[in-house]
Amino acid sequence: MTHKDLPHITEYKTLGIVLLILLLLTFTTIEVTSFHLRAATVLVALLIAGVKGYIVLTYFMHLKHEGLLLRVLVSAVFLLYAVIVIITFFDYMYR
């Protein structure tokens, strides 16, 4: 049995730290929306959501243990997400 055949087990300590980071980012999103930064508020909230999505994909969906093809495909989705965030930002800014 090679190293690639072994199951990928994440320690509970790591999962606990990831949970705390996700909670911190959630509360940060809530605090950011309390400030009136106009279009920047939406941009920051969407960027934080993107970071949280990346963390969930990496640790809870074990993307860090996957091959190059799947990583490239997920990166393409994040690129598409970034384009949509930029379009949303400009739409909100020029209303």
Per-residue model confidence (pLDDT) at position 29: 92
The confidence score (pLDDT) of residue 20 equals 97
Q: Is 33 a domain residue?
A: yes
Position 2 in a domain = no
Q: Is residue 43 assigned to a domain?
A: yes
pLDDT digit string (tens) for 1-32? 555 666 677 889 999 999 999 999 999 999 98
List all residues 6 or more positions away from 34 whose beta carbon is below 8 Å from its beta carbon: none
pLDDT of residue 67: 85
Residues with Cβ < 8 Å from 12, sequence gap 6 or more? none
Query: According to the model, what pLDDT value does residue 40 have?
Result: 81
Q: What is the model's pLDDT at position 76?
A: 93
Domain assignment present for residue 25? The answer is: yes
- Residue 4 maps to a domain: no
Residues 73 and 67: their CA atoms lie apart, in Å, by 10
What pLDDT score was predicted for residue 3? 56
Domain that holds residue 85: 10-93
pLDDT digits over 32-90, tens only? 888 888 778 877 888 899 899 889 988 888 887 788 898 899 889 889 988 987 888 78
How confident is the model at residue 61, as a pLDDT? 83
Does some domain include residue 89? yes
What total of structural domains would you count in the chain?
Answer: 1
